[in-house]
Amino acid sequence: MKALVYTGPKKLVYTDVDDPAPRAGEALIDLDCSGICGSDMHAFLGHDERRPAPLILGHEAAGVIAAGPETGRRVTVNPLVSCGVCEACREGRDNLCPDRQIISMPPREGSVAERLAMSPGNLVTVPDTVPLWHAALTEPMACGWHAVKHALRLSQRAVDQMHAVVLGGGAIGIGSALSLASQGVTSVTVLETNPGRLARLRRDLPQFDFHASFEEAGSRAPDLVMDAVGFAPTRKIASAIVKPGGVIAHIGLGEAEGGLDVRRMTLQEITFCGTYTYTAADFRETAQAIFDGAFGRFDWVEQRSLRDGAQAFADLLEGRVDAGKIVLMAE
């Protein structure tokens, strides 16, 4: 099969590799598409020791089962594989399973390829009426869906009275904004510093208030800040703008340290919570929301060929992409 293989920092090769060998009980999937995630970019830059070269990246996928009794079933892939028996799994918090694996991290290859092997329990059926590239967005959208659910449980404010600010207009930030709206938050501001992306998001998602900075937005202090970037400067912004008694939900994995004003958080009872991916239940809920059209059109997403994937990574690195997400389409 063809695959986009990470061979070293800033190096990707579109080449022939062996088809995946399904483990016992796993399905072989002919992939239709796979999105490029921020974690793929970290690996591409050589910043993720968990993803050593050579490796097939990608974990946002959808396709068609290629063999066995379910041949032809259209599916989207939950890339998180958990043990199913530990305390976290038994409590429905399988995203915290200590033995979890994810495709695109050894020992599992990723999905920027033509085929993938996966357990049937990690597959969600996609209706014939839903484009598979829409279904591939379940994974990044589920990160926002889970984060919003987690943050709203911690908030003391009535949902319909809340004002939320999302930091970052990439797929995780947009997924968070759309999830906030779907879960009842009607006042949402998104901050995005890339001028091209900011203009496109204003055009494609007019239901939200987009600005380059909080000062430009001129909005009231938010009850909830969703940090979908996760660098020290965004944590500094979140610490400064959140309302006393408010919540900061941290999704982005940009860098590990810096930015938080712990003194202010303590004196003003600000809650900070990390949110990691999603549970299997969150993934299914997000998929159904996509199938039901709850997130609207995906005009903010760009499609490119898998063959041209290396150029897509380079364009993302250089800030030449105004779309909130690139999905690579197999040929």
Q: Are 216 and 195 in contact (CB under 8 A)?
A: no
pLDDT category of residue 222 using cuts at 50, 70 and 90 = very high
How confident is residue 2, by pLDDT bands cut at 50, 70 and 90? very high
Instruction: Round to whole Å and give the CA distance between 180 and 174.
Output: 10
Sign, Cα dihedral of 155, 158, 162, 168: positive
Confidence grade of residue 254 (pLDDT, cut at 50, 70, 90): confident
- The CATH superfamily holding the domain 2-137+298-329 is Medium-chain alcohol dehydrogenases, catalytic domain (3.90.180.10)
One-letter identity of residue 92 = G
Rounded alpha-carbon distances, angstroms, from residue 31 to 25, 171, 209: 18, 21, 35
Nearest to 327 by CA among 307, 296, 306, 299: 306
314 CB-contact burial (10 Å; exposed 0-12 / middle 13-18 / buried 19+): middle
Read off the pLDDT of residues 15-62 as tens digits, 9 standing for 90 and up: 999 999 998 889 999 999 999 999 999 999 999 899 999 999 999 999
Contact 249, 151 (CB under 8 A): yes
Tokens of 276: 């990691």
d(CA 61, CA 242) in angstroms, rounded, equals 35
CA distance 229 to 240: 16
pTM, 2 dp: 0.95
Position 68 confidence tier, pLDDT thresholds 50, 70, 90: confident
Band (pLDDT 50/70/90 cuts) for residue 255 is confident
> What is the per-residue pLDDT across 138-171, written as a single tens digit (0 to 9) for each?
999 999 999 999 999 999 899 999 999 999 999 9
Residue 274 bridge partners (DSSP): 250
Could you identify the residue written with the tokens 């919570």? Answer: 273
Give the integer Cα–Cα distance in Å for 21 and 153.
42
Picking from 318, 330, 322, the residue whose alpha carbon sits closest to that of residue 302 is 322
Question: Pairing between strand 247-250 and 271-274?
Answer: parallel
If pLDDT is split at 50, 70 and 90, which confidence band does 69 have? confident
Mean pLDDT of 218-239: 96
Give the pLDDT score at 218: 87
Mean pLDDT for 241-245 is 97
* Statement: residue 239 has pLDDT above 90: yes
Q: Look at residues 111, 105, 121, 94 and name the one whose alpha carbon lies nearest to residue 50.
A: 105
C-alpha angle with apex 197: 298 to 141, nearest 5 degrees?
Answer: 40
What integer pLDDT is reported at residue 264 of this predicted model? 97
CA separation for the pair 222, 162 (Å, rounded): 7
Q: Report pLDDT for 190.
A: 97
Taking a C-beta distance cutoff of 8 angstroms, is the pair 311, 305 a contact?
A: no
Q: What pLDDT is recorded for position 253?
A: 87
State the chain's mean pLDDT as an integer. 96
pLDDT above 90 covers a percentage of the chain that reads 94
Residue-wise pLDDT for 89-136, tens only, equals 999 999 999 999 999 999 999 999 999 999 999 999 999 999 999 999
Task: Show me where the domains of the chain are located.
Answer: 2-137+298-329, 141-274
Domain 141-274 falls under CATH 3.40.50.720: yes
Mean pLDDT of 301-330: 96
